[in-house]
Amino acid sequence: MSLATMFKRNSLLDERSTWVTSVVLIVGMLAVVVLHALPSDHAWHLNGSVVSLLGKYLTYMLLALAVDLIWGYLGILSLGHGAFFALGGYAMGLYLTAQDAPLAGWQSAMVHFPVAALGVVLAPGLLALVFGWLAFRSRVTGVYFSIITQALTFALMLAFNRNEMGMGGSTGLTRFDELLSFSLSSEGMTIALFVASGVAVLLAFWGCKAITRSRLGRVCMATRDAEARVRFIGYRVEHVKLAVFVLSAMIAGIAGALYVPQVGIINPSTFAPLFSIEIVVWVALGGRATLYGALLGALLVNYFKTLLTGVMPDAWLFLLGGLFVVVTMFLPQGVAGLMAHLRRRREVTT
Note the pLDDT tens digit of each residue in 10-42: 566 678 889 999 999 999 999 999 999 999 898
Q: Please give the backbone phi and psi of residue 179, each rounded to the nearest 5 degrees, phi first.
A: -135, 120
pLDDT in tens, 269-323: 999 999 999 999 999 999 999 999 999 999 999 998 888 887 777 777 788 788 7
Q: Are 264 and 174 in contact (CB under 8 A)?
A: yes
- Tell which residue, 25, 17, 79, 68, has the closest CA to residue 217: 68
Where is mean pLDDT largest: 16-20, 185-189, 248-252? 248-252
CB 53 within 8 A of CB 190: no
pLDDT computed for residue 336 by the predictor: 85
Do 205 and 22 touch, CB atoms closer than 8 A?
yes
